[in-house]
Amino acid sequence: MKSTLAPGVSYRLQTQVNSHHLVPALFPDSPPIATMPRVLATAWLVALMEHACILALEPHLDVGEASVGTSIDLKHLAPTPEAIRIAIEVGCIEVHKRRSVWSIVARDEVEEIGRATHERIIVESHRFAGSLAAKEKLLAQART
């Protein structure tokens, strides 16, 4: 990790809500979900917030490093329909060794739609991949 990662680092992600971001698209084969309102799913709001933090962190990582999310405390405040533009603003509020904490605010064209605090840990990509491969091997052995 580069020494440039510090409180105050910020990033703004802008995107548009598409049909695959809507609640009914999460589980279209589930009648209770398929009939829910066509608004931005909370799961997608989380994903977009994580994406913004990943992009904010990227310039501060060394070669062979990546970041993984470890927690998010989210308030989804307002519904957001398809085709509306949203902006997600993230700001680093704490760095301790490989751990960073981010304050996040999401707004659509009308109002604030979500607010969160998100924690990410910087990992060495090859070590993380090795841990995942070991787990997959154990799972394969357990299934045979």
Active site positions, annotated: 42, 50, 76
| Measured distance CA(44)–CA(17) in Å, rounded | 9
Burial class (CB in 10 A: 0-12, 13-18, 19+), 62: exposed
Largest CA distance in the chain: 54
**CA 108, CA 56: separation in Å to the nearest integer?**
20
